[in-house]
Amino acid sequence: MSEFEFVTSWGEKIPIVINVRRGLRNITLRPHSGDSRHISISRPWLSSNTAAMKFVEQKRRWLEKFFINAPQKVRIKSGDTIEFLDRRVGIVYDGTIHANNFVLNNNGTYTLFVGGDEKMLESRVRNFVKAELLKEIKKLIRGVPRDFWPRRICLRDTTSRWGSCSSTGTMSFSWRLAFAPYDVMRYVVMHELSHVKHMDHSPEFWAQVRALYGFGVERAKRWLNQNGSKLHQYL
């Protein structure tokens, strides 16, 4: 049981885990949804737990909104159907195979046959989804002029940002974009590619996003704002 708790206005007690880090200048926090709903806090060693808890209270409105919208995790098991990258995919465990087998069915749906240890089914599905997303992102990037290409692409499991572009040329994306409509995922990719030219959100930046993405930027942004929390439902 955690020593500290965040008690929501509806009475839910959410554990708080405080970590002390040397070299850190400011208190930071991150809420976690799913099977283990909790808040992780990192604070400088010269700060105090009291200061950390005051910081939590300052973020109360944002935290409550996060936990209200954060869906409970849905466990994936053999026989379930999930959707990613605009594909409807049935999950089937097959203990006789070692590697995943991804099959296109006659009706346009797919089946992912997962082998190995059945206890690792969710992990293997997760890794497959991430690999498929990375392939699609690379395909999209190859379709824009080379001067927009990042030096490096990585996938992360972030709760507050769908993508980022660093000044060093590294571009990061939330792997949960795989569960978004394809054009919404494509919008995030074009958004981050536009930061190669404009490291801000100026009118020039948005003009660049529209030039790369085409018609429908506002629709994609709106979908992500309204439905983004649902992308954390699986795995």
Q: Assess whether 47 and 130 both reside in one domain.
A: no
Q: Assess whether 129 and 62 both reside in one domain.
A: no
- Of 21, 49, 69, which residue constitutes the final position of a domain? 69
Q: Model confidence over 54-63: pLDDT tens digits? A: 999 999 999 9
Please report, to the nearest 10 degrees, the dihedral formed by the alpha carbons of residues 124, 126, 129, 133 taken in order. -130
pLDDT at 1 over 60: no
Split at pLDDT 50, 70, 90, the class of 197 is very high
Split at pLDDT 50, 70, 90, the class of 153 is very high
SS3 160: coil
Instruction: Name the more confident of 169 and 134.
Output: 134
Residue 76: inside a domain: no
Residue 27: inside a domain: yes
Stated length of the chain: 235
Rounded CA-CA distance 176/228 in Å is: 9
Cα–Cα distance list, 139 to 40, 65, 133, 135, 143 (Å): 35, 35, 10, 6, 7
Q: Assess whether 23 and 90 both reside in one domain.
A: no
Please choose, from the candidates 88, 86, 25, 16, the residue with its C-alpha nearest in 3D space to the C-alpha of residue 56.
Answer: 16
Residue 225: inside a domain: yes
Q: Assess whether 110 and 220 both reside in one domain.
A: yes
Split at pLDDT 50, 70, 90, the class of 2 is low
Q: Model confidence over 70-119: pLDDT tens digits? A: 766 778 999 999 999 999 999 999 999 989 999 999 999 999 999 999 99
Q: pLDDT above 90 covers what percent of the chain?
A: 76
Chain-centre distance of CA 175, in angstroms?
A: 5
Q: Whole domain around residue 113: which residue ranges?
A: 81-232
Q: Assess whether 141 and 212 both reside in one domain.
A: yes
Rounded CA-CA distance 52/204 in Å is: 39
Please choose, from the candidates 11, 9, 64, 75, the residue with its C-alpha nearest in 3D space to the C-alpha of residue 39.
Answer: 64
Mapped to the 3 state alphabet, what secondary structure does 47-75 carry? CCHHHHHHHHHHCHHHHHHHHHHCCCCEC
Q: Assess whether 58 and 106 both reside in one domain.
A: no
Q: Assess whether 118 and 31 both reside in one domain.
A: no
Q: Model confidence over 36-48: pLDDT tens digits? A: 788 999 999 999 9
Phi-psi region of 23 (alpha: psi -120 to 50; beta: other; left: phi over 0): left
The predicted model scores a pTM of 0.74
Q: Assess whether 51 and 87 both reside in one domain.
A: no
- Of 49, 69, 89, which residue constitutes the final position of a domain? 69
Q: pLDDT above 70 covers what percent of the chain?
A: 97
Q: Model confidence over 5-29: pLDDT tens digits? A: 999 998 888 999 999 998 899 999 9
Residue 38: inside a domain: yes
DSSP string, 5-23: EEE-TTS-EEEEEEEEETT
Strand partners, 142: none
Residue 74: inside a domain: no
Q: Assess whether 48 and 103 both reside in one domain.
A: no
Q: Assess whether 54 and 103 both reside in one domain.
A: no
Residue 75: inside a domain: no
| CATH code: domain of residue 158 | 3.30.2010.10
Q: Model confidence over 121-146: pLDDT tens digits? A: 999 999 999 999 999 999 999 999 99
Chain-centre distance of CA 7, in angstroms?
A: 26
Chain-centre distance of CA 208, in angstroms?
A: 24
- Of 69, 94, 120, which residue constitutes the final position of a domain? 69
User: Considering its fold, how many domains does the chain have in total?
Assistant: 2
Q: Assess whether 177 and 217 both reside in one domain.
A: yes
41 Cβ contact partners less than 8 Å away, ≥ 6 residues apart? 16, 17, 18, 19, 27, 28, 29, 30, 52, 55, 56
Q: What is the pLDDT of residue 87?
A: 97
Q: Assess whether 123 and 34 both reside in one domain.
A: no
